[in-house]
Amino acid sequence: MPELPEAETIVRGLRRTVVGETIDHVRVARPDVLRQSRSSFAAGVIGHRIAAIERRGKNVLIQLDQARLIAVNLGMTGGLLPFRAPPRGAARPTHAAITFRFGSGGCLVFNDTRRFGTVEALDETTWRARSSRMGPEPLARGYRPSHLHAALQHSRSPIRSWLLDQRRVAGIGNIYANEALFLAGLHPQRPARNVGREEAYALHAHLREVLNAAIEAGGTTIRDYRNADGGQGEYVRRLNVYGRNEEECLLCGTEIQRIVFGGRSAFFCPGCQVL
């Protein structure tokens, strides 16, 4: 599932290719990805110019003129692919859900194999209200270790589950939560409120370390994720625990284990992350 690094990688790729384009036409092949009617969506985007591309949590925000935007949640397999001309033959995306045609002749395709992603046209006031219900951005300059430590003290949830709650902190998913917890030496089932000050400070540092490194690597491709150029994310080569159950820990040699709680798999090293 695309997380903060994957969304950020897509945003940076789209900034180079679609900013300044004007949306002339929209083709909705899979209306189930829309959070509104086709007519409302089309009316909200056709004729508008793309002014900027931003990110909030795991969401890609296509900012339009006249204080409007398109909010794209990538879901599990969603991607945004720009083309200078309508793709044909083997170049055509296999699961194009929505296609935005530009006045220049190019287009932008929201491709989503499993169609768990969502697309919606909003005014900025509506989006700001929705964004306010999300947690802080973990890479923001103003997000300090003390903020993380203070927030953890109010929850009995397992620390891995706490990190996945987008109301607590925005953009972190299962891959990077597992990786940061390993580097911080914290068991994924450790109650959040039992994480001490020094441990919280270490977790804060490792979260930022892992997220920044994943962005530099273009994200992590386990199966479906592709960046805006259609390429794969290379951070998969640097994973310490995620998806490595029954393999040896790279630090201590203990066998990596996989457990399931909260409906999600967690990966950890029993030698490095003692409960």
Beta bridge partners of 82: 108
Return the sign of the alpha-carbon dihedral for residues 97, 110, 229, 85: positive
Q: Which residues contact 251 (CB under 8 A, 6 or more apart)?
A: 240, 269, 271, 272
Residue in the block written with tokens 């995306």: 93
Cα 255 from Cα 54, distance rounded (Å) = 40
- Per the residue annotation, which of 30, 56, 193, 264 is the catalytic one? 264
Read off the tokens for 153.
């003290």
Binning the chain into helix, strand and coil, the percentages to the nearest 5 are: 30, 25, 45
For residue 3, indicate whether it is catalytic. yes
For residue 5, indicate whether it is catalytic. no
Q: Are 198 and 149 in contact (CB under 8 A)?
A: no
For residue 2, indicate whether it is catalytic. yes
- Per the residue annotation, which of 2, 82, 93, 158 is the catalytic one? 2
- Per the residue annotation, which of 55, 58, 101, 160 is the catalytic one? 58
Beta bridge partners of 23: 102
The residues annotated with a catalytic role in the active site are 2-3, 58, 264
